[in-house]
Amino acid sequence: LAKTTQPISMDSYEGQEVNITCSHNNIATNDYITWYQQFPSQGPRFIIQGYKTKVTNEVASLFIPADRKSSTLSLPRVSLSDTAVYYCLVGEPGRRALTFGSGTRLQVQP
Amino acid sequence: GAVVSQHPSWVICKSGTSVKIECRSLDFQATTMFWYRQFPKQSLMLMATSNEGSKATYEQGVEKDKFLINHASLTLSTLTVTSAHPEDSSFYICSAPGRGLNTEAFFGQGTRLTVV
């Protein structure tokens, strides 16, 4: 399974855009890139998933360059409630268990 | 979207006792479910894969006799922590894979186990 590397932590302020980049140099052809959000004492929650180029939903955008060796989760205008740990995962979620990396702990300040 | 429900949300038990955690898929059938464990400030670690109608497969280092997994139906998987000790205190999370290839996985709310 492709290993992912992302910053351990990030700080931001309310209203700012936050970009979290994840490296996955060994991504396989069939792998998708999925981001999850986790609040303390809760299970992870799906944010967004993509294979290539750009994906946008009501919560975030996901940018994936042509070589797919990295991806960037973009959270527009964060609020205090976006304080959480964000995990970047690479694999085939419909087939097998997900391998979680260390995640990025985002702290949003007022 | 699909929902995975986990129960209880938290439990406190005495050392030496056993605790059962349930994981249900509410509006879909899951032939496979995954069990994770998460210690404070750490990431989720896969413990085992629960397979409906067959034995669970455990990750290296996870004691199958201590963490009993039963997947008796297409909507229910259970994890029983037997003879619990304080070091088993952790956050346990179940998940079910997406209903199609390359779709999101669904996670339960998690169970906070504290062994005293």
Cis bond upstream, residue B97 (ω within 30): no
Least CB-CB distance to B101: which of A92, A97, A100?
A92
CA distance A75 to chain B (A): 19
Nearest CA in chain B to A9: B41
- Measured in degrees and rounded to the nearest 5, phi and psi for residue B21 equal -115, 130
Contact A91, A1 (CB under 8 A): yes
Contact A105, B41 (CB under 8 A): no
Q: Is residue B48's pLDDT more than 60? A: yes
Our CA dihedral for A34, B43, B24, B72, rounded to 10 degrees, sits at 110
Cα–Cα dist B45/B35, whole Å = 9
- Name the band, by pLDDT with cuts 50, 70 and 90, for residue B29: confident
CA distance B91 to chain A (A): 7
Cα–Cα dist B22/A33, whole Å = 29
Q: What is the pLDDT of residue A3?
A: 86
Element (H, E) at B98: none
Q: How many CB atoms lie within 10 A of CB A31?
A: 19
Contact A94 B102 (CB under 8 A): yes
CA distance B11 to chain A (A): 13
Contact A103 B103 (CB under 8 A): no
Q: pLDDT by residue (tens digit) across A30-69?
A: 889 999 999 999 999 999 999 999 999 999 999 999 999 9
